[in-house]
Every structure is written in structure tokens, then in C-alpha cells.
A and B are shown apart, each in its own frame.
Chain A
Amino acid sequence: MAKIIGGIGTSHVPSIGKAFDMGQQEEPDWKPVFDAYKPVQQWLAEIKPDIAIVVYNDHGSSMFFDKYPTFAIGAADSYPIGDEGWGPRALPEVPGDPEFSWHLAEELVYNEFDITICQELSVEHGFLVPMNLCFPHEPNWAVKTVPIAVNVIQHPLPTAARCYKLGQAIRQAVDACERDLRIVILGTGGMSHQLNGTRFGHLNTVFDNDFLDKIENSPQELTQLTHQKIMEEAGAEAVELIMWLTMRGALSNKLTRIHRNYYAPMTTGMGLIVFEEND
């Protein structure tokens, strides 16, 4: 039987990908980010997941406003590296598990989550930065993936509560899978940041740390957050945090929080939280 064994909430700041490619991991202003993921990589190497479900948003790589899905799922053998406007990063294509993706899609749709199914999907920083921080990729990626894309860039957005319920539906879908698969789920994006207006660069470390507390202990409270409240407190682009609730909704309440980190060097609160299922 398939089983969710852990969940990770992590930022997906694009400059981390650039720093990674340029080998800046040891530079003083970057080191706190990269060091924070070392125990996570070690943990993942020990628990050996077969599949990582990555909840992220596309920032204009594979998706555009001609048709921008509210929820979409990748169902391909592999996911090429997208070109976001500055050329694709030199990374191997990311392997998928289309059989498992179609299983999830079928269970989700019959559970009233009418998700768009993508048989061709290139992936970009929203997906790749968390993957880089968590899994080795040389010579090939250490895990298969299921990308799940959420619209958090063009309002109207799905509510925080809806994203949490999507996570619960993902858990039910995993439980209904007969294959012997060990699964981790990543909720990505955020934390506080704003990339437009005179409030560009807005950070709120108090909000971010409160969010980290509550995603662990009282996620139900976070599902009551409105987009308005998140944007006012933590910046317009902080609404990405609703994708962390999909991760949390897919977990039980019998968890051990094994890691947590926070660092806000430039314009984004870079958060990290890691949970392992006890059973």
C-alpha cells in the first residue's frame, strides 16, 4: 500500500537556483540557506521516498494567462527543464510516474477536485528550487515526482481552506493506491514577500514565524486566513503560502517535526519546516 511518510514546507526563491548553479553555497550571505537543508537531505536519504509530490506554481514557464489552471497535475514520464526567459538550467529532466499521477487524478476528480491533467509539462523554479535543495540530481534525480500546480498568481485564487482540502484528498488518494510506494509531499513558495508597488521588498518575520508555529500545531487556524489578510500582512506574493496547507492537509496529526529554519536576507522570508509521520 502507498503511504505518505513525510512533508516539507519550503520557499522556492528563484535566486537560490542561480546561487546553486554558480556554486555560491559557502558564501556568507547564502550559507544559512544551503546549510539548513543538509539535515533534510540526510533525512531523505535515510527514509528513501519513491515519489515526491511537489505542490508549486508556474510563474510563466509552461503556463500562461491564455489558459491558467486553478489546479493542475503532471502525468508524464519525465518533466523537462523549462525556459523562464533566461534559458533552461543545466539539470537532468525530472522523472515522473505517470501511472501514479493518473491514479491520483482519477481519485481527486471523483472526490470533486476537478484537476487539469498535463501530459506535457516543463518545470521551473517553483518546482526545481525545492527539488535542488532536497534531492541530489547527479547523474539523475534520486526520486520520481508528481508536480501539482496551483494558481497563486492571477486572482481569483483558490482559498486557503480549499488548498488544505486538496491535501486531504491527496492523502485519501494515496491511501487508495495498491502499490507499495513511500511518498513525501512538498508544499512550496512564500514566505512573506512582495514583488510589486512601492511596497516591493516587504517582509514580515513575525507573520512568517507564527505561520511556521501554526502549520505544525494548528493548521486549521491557517485555513481561515483570507488572501486579503495574507497580502496585507505578508505581501502580495505571500499568498503562495496557501500551497503549504496542501502539504499539511496531506499529513496526519501524529507527526514529529524534525527540522525548522527561517532566514530573510533579501526580499523573501525563506522558511523551511519538515515533518515525519510517526506511523
Chain B
Amino acid sequence: MAVKREKLKSIPGTTIFDGAESRKGYRINKFAMSFTKPENRRAFTADEEAYMEKWKLDQKERKFLRDRDFRGLIEECGGNIYMIMKIGTCTGHGLYHVGAQLRGQTFEEFLETRNASGAR
């Protein structure tokens, strides 16, 4: 008999990071996790193309990375927000820059929607 349980339903405007996303995003997330070591951050910064080649990223992942398209990395490549932010920090794109991108706004437009945007 099957276990009685909640089945997740999709929510508009929301990515639920489940098994399917984690399988899809395994390579890009593992790549991003490598940024927790300073020598890897330095290697990426010194030669992005060589570092992407070392990790055998696919062409789509490389393009999104070159374009700093974090929305693409998350929504099309299975990137987990916490992993992707390790890349974002390294390229100078903080959480609220990435967030504005996800919302389809400029950074300034996004800040306008906040209650006390000095707390960032």
C-alpha cells in the first residue's frame, strides 16, 4: 500500500528544487559548489573558458554563464539558488541583482519594491 503523502503541485512564478531539478542541475550545481574553495574561484576568474572546459559544462550552461544569465542557469539548467549565488558572488552579482533578473526588473526597480532597502 502506498504511503499517504502530500504530492507537490507547481506554484506560479516558483521553482521547487526537487529530485528532478537536482538531477538536471547536478553538473552546474557541482561546478558552483567548487567555488567554496578559493583556488577554484581564482582559477575561474583567471580563465573562465578553461575552467568551464575543465568541468565539461554543456554549451547552454557556458552561454548562460558568459551572459551572466542567472535566470537561465536556474530555470533551464536546474541551478539551485544557493549554489548559483556562489558563482554570482564571484562575478560581482549579488542576490538582489540575481533577484531583479528573475523578476524581469532592473536592480533599481526591484529596490523600489522593498520596505527598507538599506538593509541589504
Contacts and interface: CB of A to CB of B under 8 A. Distances in A.
Interface of A: 15, 19, 27-30, 33, 59-61, 64-66, 82-87, 153-156, 159, 194-201, 226-228, 231-232, 235-236, 264-267
B78 to A, nearest CB: 10
Contacts of A231: 11, 14, 16
Interface of B: 6, 8-9, 11-19, 22, 26, 29-30, 32-33, 35-38, 41, 74-75, 80-83, 85-87, 89-90, 95-96, 99, 102-104, 110, 113-120
9 tightest A-B CB contacts, nearest first: A85-B86, A29-B118, A265-B116, A199-B13, A265-B119, A198-B13, A155-B18, A29-B119, A29-B116
A82 B26 CA distance: 22
The majority secondary structure among interface residues of chain A is: loop
A227 B8 contact: yes
B64 to A, nearest CB: 15
Contacts of A61: 36
Contact of B14 (A82, A86, A153, A196): A196
B95 to A, nearest CB: 7
A264 B115 contact: yes
Given A65-B29, A198-B102, A30 B118 contact: yes
B116 A266 contact: yes
B114 A265 contact: yes
Contacts of A15: 95, 119-120
Contact of B13 (A33, A153, A197, A265): A197
A95 B78 CA distance: 36
Contact of A85 (B22, B74, B89): B89
The majority secondary structure among interface residues of chain B is: helix
A93 B62 CA distance: 37
Given A198-B103, A201-B103, A265-B116, A154 B18 contact: yes
18 contacts: A27-B118, A27-B119, A29-B117, A30-B118, A60-B33, A65-B30, A83-B37, A85-B35, A155-B8, A156-B18, A195-B81, A198-B13, A198-B104, A201-B110, A201-B113, A226-B6, A231-B14, A235-B14
Contacts of A155: 8, 16-19
A153 B82 contact: yes
Nearest to B99: A200
A59 B120 CA distance: 19
A155 B12 CA distance: 18
Contact of A196 (B12, B87, B102): B102
A85 B119 CA distance: 21
A236 to B, nearest CB: 5
B17 A85 contact: no
B85 A85 contact: yes
A265 B118 CA distance: 8
A29 B120 CA distance: 9
Nearest to B18: A155
